[in-house]
C-alpha cells in the first residue's frame, strides 16, 4: 500500500529569534528538515513538504520532494489540507519539520499500527510532561481523546502519556476528517489534533504508538535545539563506538550527520567533525583537531591541534601534526607535515617531508594558485613556496627559503640571504646602546 508523508514546514520560528526559517536550523551540520526527510525516505513512497509563502530556501532544502504553499497560516490542519491532492489512496501521515529526530523504525511502526479505517498517533512519556497534551486511553488501550494541558483535570494531568502530534490514517479518511475540522477555538485556528475526536465520533479506533521521548521532542527554541543536538550526538557517538571506533572522551567529540568512520579509528578528546568527512580504518585523530570536507586515508595520524579544511585528501599513512592546516590539497602516501604549517591548493607526492613553519603562498589578493611538490622531497623549516610553483622529485629546499621559481628534480634550492659574521661587533653595539641610554 502506498504511503505518503506530509511534512509541515511553514513555521517561521518566532521563538528562535531568527530570520532563518525554523526548519533550516541545523543539527550535526544538517537542517532539521533534512534530518526528518532522511528518516521518512525509507518508510514512505512519497513525501510532500508544506511551506509558507516566500520560503524558497526551504523549498530548495526539500528538493527533490514536492512542495505546496500554505498562503495563510490558519493552523496545522489547514496546512495539511494544502497537500490533500497528493494524498493518494493509501496511507497518509502528517509530521512536523520541528520534530527532526524521529527514526525510520518508529515511522514504520506508525504505518503498521492502525486498522484500515482507523487513526494512529505517536505518543511519548517525557521526564517533564510540562504542558503537553495528554493522551487518554480506555481499558481496551485505544485512545479516547487528547486533552490539552490547560483543559485537563488534575487526574488527567497525572497521565504520563503525551501527544507528539504526528497522525496517520487511510488517505480518504484523513482528507474527510481534515475538511471537517472547525476553527471555533480561542485562536481561530484549524488544529490537526481535532482529527482524534472526529475519528472517535465516526466510531473509528485510534491507536497510540509509543516512542522514546528523545525522538519526539519538538524544537521551537535555541535551548531545545541545543538539547536535540546533545541527543543526536549521543546517538551518533554510540553508533560509532558500536561499529569499532574508540573515543577517549565521547562527550567531547562532535560528529556531523554524514561523518563516515572506519574500524579501529581512535579519536582523542575535543575533536570536531564538520560536514563531509570520511575517515578510513586505523586512523588516529588527536586532541583538539577540527576537520571538515576531508578524506583521510588508512593509518594516518592527525593532530593534535590540526585543521583539515574542505578539499583535503590524505592518502595512506599521512601525518598532519600540531597546528598544521590543510585546505584543497592532496597529500600522497607517507607525507609528513608535523608542525606549524599551512598547505593550501597543493599536491604533495609520496614520502615528502614538510618542515615546520612551511607555507604555500597560494593567494595574491586576487586569485588562487597551486603548488605541486613531487615525491621524496625534503622541505626545510620556515620555507615559503610562492605559487604557482613546482618542486621536482627528490629535491631539497634549504630552511628559510622563499621559493618563487620551479625546482628541478634532485636539486638543492636555497633562497635566502648569505650569513655574514662580524667578530666583536655585538659588544660594540651594546656599549654604544648603553652610552646613548645614559
The catalytic residue positions are: 339
**Of 212, 243, 250, residue with least CA distance to 123:** 212
The CA distance from 164 to 216, in Å, is 6
Three-state secondary-structure class, residue 435: helix
Pairing of strands 384-386, 290-291: unpaired
388: preceding bond cis by omega (within 30 degrees): yes
Q: Name the grid cell of 232.
A: 543526536
Cite the beta strand spans of 323-410 per DSSP E. 325-331, 336-339, 342-348, 353-354, 359-361, 371-373, 378-379, 384-386, 389-391, 396-397, 402-403
Query: 8: part of which helix (H) or strand (E)?
Result: strand 3-8
**Going by C-beta distance under 8 Å and a sequence separation of 6 or more, which residues neighbour residue 72?**
78
Task: Single out the residue of 83, 90, 98, 81 nearest to residue 36, CA to CA.
Answer: 98
* DSSP states along 280-295: -TT-EE-TT-EE-SEE
**Rounded to 5°, angle at Cα 88 from 189 and 106:** 75
- List CB contacts of 320: < 8 A, sequence separation 6 or more: 300, 301, 302, 303, 306, 308, 314, 326, 331, 337, 338
C-alpha distances in angstroms, 121 versus 107, 156, 168? 10, 18, 6
DSSP state, 45? S
Per the rule left: phi > 0, alpha: psi between -120 and 50, beta: everything else, 436 is alpha
Q: Are 80 and 192 in contact (CB under 8 A)?
A: yes
**HSE-CB for 425 with a 13 A CA cutoff:** 4
DSSP letter (8 states) at residue 276: S
* 3-class SS of residue 12: coil
Looking at residue 362, what DSSP letter applies? -
Reported as type and span, the H/E element at residue 65 is none
* CA separation for the pair 137, 123 (Å, rounded): 11
Amino acid at each position: 500500500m502506498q504511503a505518503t508523508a506530509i511534512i509541515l514546514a511553514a513555521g517561521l520560528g518566532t521563538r528562535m529569534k531568527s530570520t532563518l526559517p525554523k526548519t533550516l536550523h541545523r543539527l550535526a551540520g544538517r537542517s532539521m528538515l533534512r534530518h526528518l526527510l532522511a528518516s521518512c525516505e525509507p518508510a514512505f513512497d512519497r513525501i510532500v513538504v508544506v511551506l509558507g509563502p516566500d520560503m524558497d530556501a526551504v523549498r530548495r532544502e526539500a528538493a527533490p520532494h514536492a512542495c505546496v504553499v500554505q498562503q495563510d497560516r490558519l493552523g496545522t490542519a489547514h496546512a495539511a489540507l494544502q497537500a490533500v491532492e497528493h494524498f493518494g489512496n493509501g496511507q497518509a501521515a502528517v509530521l512536523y519539520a520541528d520534530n527532526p529526530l524521529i527514526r525510520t523504525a518508529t515511522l514504520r511502526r506508525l504505518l503498521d499500527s492502525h486498522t484500515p479505517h482507523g487513526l494512529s498517533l505517536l505518543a511519548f512519556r517525557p521526564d517533564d510532561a510540562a504542558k503537553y497534551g495528554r493522551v487518554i486511553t480506555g481499558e481496551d488501550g485505544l485512545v479516547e481523546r487528547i486533552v490539552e494541558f490547560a483543559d485537563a483535570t488534575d487526574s488527567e494531568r497525572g497521565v504520563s502519556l503525551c501527544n507528539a502530534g504526528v497522525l496517520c490514517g487511510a488517505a480518504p479518511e484523513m482528507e474527510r476528517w481534515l475538511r471537517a475540522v472547525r476553527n471555533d477555538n480561542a485562536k481561530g485556528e484549524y488544529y490537526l489534533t481535532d482529527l482524534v475526536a472526529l475519528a472517535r465520533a465516526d466510531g473509528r479506533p485510534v491507536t497510540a504508538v509509543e516512542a522514546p521521548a528523545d525522538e519526539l521532542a519538538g524544537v521551537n527554541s535555541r535551548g531545545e535545539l541545543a538539547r536535540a543536538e546533545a541527543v543526536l550526538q549521543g546517538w551518533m557517538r554510540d553508533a560509532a563506538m558500536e561499529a569499532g571506533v574508540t573515543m577517549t572522551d565521547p562527550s567531547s567529540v562532535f560528529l556531523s550527520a554524514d561523518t563516515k568512520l572506519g574500524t579501529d579509528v581512535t579519536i582523542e578528546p575535543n575533536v570536531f567533525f564538520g560536514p563531509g568527512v570520511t575517515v578510513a580504518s586505523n586512523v588516529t585523530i588527536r586532541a583538539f583537531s577540527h576537520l571538515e570536507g576531508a578524506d583521510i586515508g588508512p593509518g594516518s595520524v592527525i593532530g593534535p591541534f590540526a585543521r583539515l579544511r574542505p578539499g583535503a585528501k590524505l592518502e595512506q599513512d599521512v601525518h598532519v601534526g600540531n597546528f598544521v592546516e590543510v585546505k584543497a590539497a592532496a597529500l600522497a602516501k607517507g607525507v609528513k607535515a608535523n608542525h606549524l604549517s599551512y598547505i593550501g591548493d597543493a599536491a604533495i607526492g609520496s614520502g615528502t617531508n614538510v618542515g615546520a613553519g612551511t607555507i604555500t603562498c597560494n593567494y595574491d589578493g586576487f586569485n588562487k594558485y597551486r603548488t605541486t611538490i613531487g615525491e621524496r622531497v625534503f622541505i626545510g623549516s620556515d620555507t615559503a613556496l610562492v605559487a604557482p610553483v613546482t618542486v621536482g622529485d627528490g629535491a631539497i629546499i634549504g630552511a628559510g627559503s622563499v621559493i618563487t621559481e620551479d625546482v628541478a628534480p634532485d636539486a638543492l634550492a636555497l633562497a635566502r640571504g648569505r650569513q655574514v659574521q662580524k667578530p666583536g661587533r655585538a659588544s660594540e653595539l651594546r656599549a654604544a646602546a648603553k652610552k646613548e641610554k645614559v
